[in-house]
């Protein structure tokens, strides 16, 4: 069964270090989302891609976060430098497109701990 792949599953990093997460969406899915989920809260959209273009990144802290999807397939989310408050689950999701009734499938997430 096709699934959204994310790596690593867990990451521990020291503050001020750089960290990167990778996401491989389901084949053929044009829309890709990155979310941040703090423990006990719902996911917060960081960035939405349509193919290789950014559709929405209004909630992305651009001074330290960057995201790219160069060939419109897999994507990387980077944090530099990491801060203690960045500790969270980072979820990637993909869908065939942004239209209504198009189901979004989530990966297992990357649990980031900044020490």
Partner 1 sequence: KNQVEQSPQSLIILEGKNCTLQCNYTVSPFSNLRWYKQDTGRGPVSLTIMTFSENTKSNGRYTATLDADTKQSSLHITASQLSDSASYICVVISSGGSYIPTFGRGTSLIVHP
Residues that bind partner 1 (CB under 8 A): 4, 33, 35, 40-45, 48, 50, 55-56, 89, 91, 93, 98-101, 103-109, 111
> What string of DSSP letters covers 44-74?
EEEEEEETTEEEE-TTS-TTTEEEE-TTSSS
Closer Cβ to partner 1, 22 or 105, answer by number:
105
Least Cβ distance, residue 106 to partner 1 (angstroms):
3
Report the 10 Å Cβ neighbour count for 23: 26
Closer Cβ to partner 1, 30 or 81, answer by number:
30
Closer Cβ to partner 1, 52 or 81, answer by number:
52
Among the listed residues 69, 64, 71, the one whose alpha carbon sits nearest the alpha carbon of residue 13 = 64
| Cβ proximity of 100 and 35 under 8 Å | no
Least Cβ distance, residue 98 to partner 1 (angstroms):
4
């Amino acid at each position: 069964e096709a699934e959204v792949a994310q790596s690593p599953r867990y990451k521990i990093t020291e503050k001020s270090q750089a960290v990167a997460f990778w996401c491989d969406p389901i084949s053929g899915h044009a829309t890709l989302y990155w979310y941040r989920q703090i423990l006990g809260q719902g996911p917060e959209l960081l960035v939405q891609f349509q193919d290789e273009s950014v559709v929405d990144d209004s909630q992305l802290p651009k001074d330290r976060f960057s995201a790219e999807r160069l060939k419109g397939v897999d994507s990387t989310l980077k944090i530099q430098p990491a801060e203690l408050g960045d500790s969270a689950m980072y979820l990637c999701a993909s869908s065939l497109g942004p239209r209504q009734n198009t189901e979004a499938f989530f990966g297992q997430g990357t649990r980031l701990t900044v020490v």
